[in-house]
Amino acid sequence: MMIGLIGLGNIGQHFATRLLAAGHPLVVYDTRPEAVERFVKLGAQAAGSALDLASKTDAVFLSLPLPSVVEQVATAPGGMIDSTRARVVVDLSTTGPSVTNAIARTLAQRQIEFLGAPVSGGTVAAEKGTLTIMAAGPRHIFDAVEPWLQVIGKNLFYLGEGHGLGQTMKIINNTLCAVGMVASCEALVFGVKAGLDSAIMLDILNVSSGRSFATLEKIPQCILHRDFPMRFTTELIHKDIKLCIEEAERIGVPMWVSPAARSFLAFSITQGDGNRDYAHTIEHFEKWAGVQFGAEPDTPATP
């Protein structure tokens, strides 16, 4: 069974690397020729378009940034939907349940099976193959592609036949991540302003009830030493929390806290943070407070 991968960005490049390293024949496509060429040198076969890739493979994996891009690649005329070979599409992107369900219905009209399988863990987990994968759709499709999913992820969950269930879980996860990050940033900047040490605050929080992904991993790894590595853009995490709020409203579930985090992230995007890692959003709280959280190694923080 030949597989293909569309999307070789911050996350997708690690999928391609791991699949090739595991000995799986792979066809790749990306709108950036240089990204495709990199993996051709590693043994992948190149495709000239999404349809070309689908014509050379039996199962297609997608790792794309936006719901609109997934829809275009999967269901637009001249896309994968016109393939006469590929019968399985596995979407590793984050699109939200409504879009996923719509894509699944459209592909089904051409007898193409669809599995929504968004991932969580970011670029570090993608590189290590330790991602969490939240899959939903036909059970027999999940069982068929599970050996490939095990190459790119460690924590595999099958959530049921409903195509959008994995997407619902993913946007809940990312919304909690966003809310925790915004709340942690403003609280930690307050602590610095009040005279507390940045590193000691994290040490205390991480053995206390205030700990979260933000305090355990994101802030220590990306902010404490002021290195701000690119892992996940502000634009993308804003997209995910926006999807979650909209889906909740659609089914009649009120949200009070999440919209505040969404508004702050939207503000950050207007300040030029859209394509920067969302760790940079702490700089707004720092600017308003007149202090800096953390410092470069061997450099004292400025309370």
Which residues are the active-site residues? 170
Picking from 143, 115, 119, the residue whose alpha carbon sits closest to that of residue 131 is 119
Beta strands in 79-169 (DSSP E): 88-91, 113-116, 119-120, 131-135, 153-158
CA distances from 263 to 31, 76, 176, 271 (A): 32, 32, 15, 13
Print burial letters for 265-303: b (CB count within 10 Å at least 16), e (below 16).
beebbeeebbebbbbbbbbbbbeeeebbbbeeeeeebee
Handedness of CA 246, 164, 69, 174 (dihedral sign): positive
Cβ atoms within 10 Å, residue 103: 26
CA distance 139 to 163: 10
CA distance 281 to 232: 12
End-to-end CA distance of the chain: 59
| Structure-token pair, residue 80 | 């994968």
CA-atom Rg of the chain in angstroms: 20
Cβ atoms within 10 Å, residue 138: 15
CA distances from 222 to 71, 138, 299 (A): 33, 38, 16
